Amino acid sequence: MLRKSRTRFWLIVGALFLGTLYLLAPVLTPFLFAALLAYLGDPLIDRLTARGMSRSWAVALVFGALLLGLLLLLLLLIPLSAHQFKGLMQRLPGYIDWFQLHTLPWLQHTLGIDPAMFDLSRLRTQIMAYAQELGDLAGGLLQSFRASSAALFSWLANLVLVPVVTFYLLRDWDILVAKIHGLLPRQIEPTVAALARESDEVIGAFLRGQLIVMSALGVIYSMGLAAIGLEFSLLIGLLAGLVSFVPYLGLIVGIAVASTAAVLQSQSFLNIIPVLIVFGVGQLISDFFLTPKLVGDRIGLHPVVVLFAVLAGGHLFGFFGILLALPAAAVIAVILRHAHDEYLQSTFYQR
């Protein structure tokens, strides 16, 4: 009876916790983002302190590096990507015209495909309208900020809140972990501590190692595509690097998008060959150097699980859910593996 009451109690606590997360997701998003940054930076701080540097100086150094990286992302990478995306949308109508004049007749003659299946005129009109909306996007955002002081205040508050919370979490991370560990009931402390250590290995391997691999692939693909003269190289390279969290998905998506862009730009299928070389070199670097050295075999998350977790988290909680998806999936995977091992050793299985 007591065991049933405890189970019911923890089920109620879990339901209340999930409900609170759902209701407070917009408020908790900057705190979760700051916690992820602190989690990424804490091992480096521990290494610096182990070499004799004071905790304060180590925190200041790592925090400065994280802040500089975020500023570069906001001030350089995002505007350049947005500019290339706007240029792509403006050129798409011309690409559609070329496809209609050259590719559709070939498809009809070779494969017998009816050109009427492609409603390209309507697609062209929609793309031109969307490109016009993109051109007015900056002005529209400025007007919306002027009209809504609450939206402007919320945006500025989050912009300031993330660095501040990140700094305090970096400074007190070990203290917070120790206090949480001290609150655990002594009866379950060994099991929970073992699960926490295994979860930390899985999450750390993915968040630290895989993020570096994704960033490196994005840089390699962007520089390689720029070297062969492909327009929108930064946009395509970043897209391929971003979806590389699922093995080989970035390679497939990058080749498909870059090959299409190369054919439309040069109107020759021979330009696909340099694209294949760029992505082949990038994948070789990833498979034989980046992934074994930075990630290894410690992830423990199947690519399908990773993809499902990100999509499910985004659907349920928005951007907050995307941030929470992979850590939650890693913890759940560790708990399920532990439960599976317990089941195999139980009398219920061996009976």
pLDDT greater than 80 at residue 67: yes
Note the pLDDT of residue 221.
92
pLDDT tens-digit profile of 87-98? 666 666 666 666
DSSP string, 123-139: HHHHHHHHHHHHHTHHH
CA distance 307 to 301: 10
Note the pLDDT of residue 139.
47
Q: Considering only residues 77 and 140, tell me which one the structure prediction assigns the higher pLDDT.
A: 77
Q: Are 327 and 35 in contact (CB under 8 A)?
A: no
Q: Are 306 and 329 in contact (CB under 8 A)?
A: yes
What SS3 state is found at 299? coil
CA distance 257 to 213: 20
pLDDT tens-digit profile of 145-165? 444 555 555 666 667 788 888
CA distance 221 to 238: 8
Task: Return the domain boundaries, the chain.
Answer: 27-183, 186-343
The model's pTM: 0.68
pLDDT greater than 50 at residue 102: yes
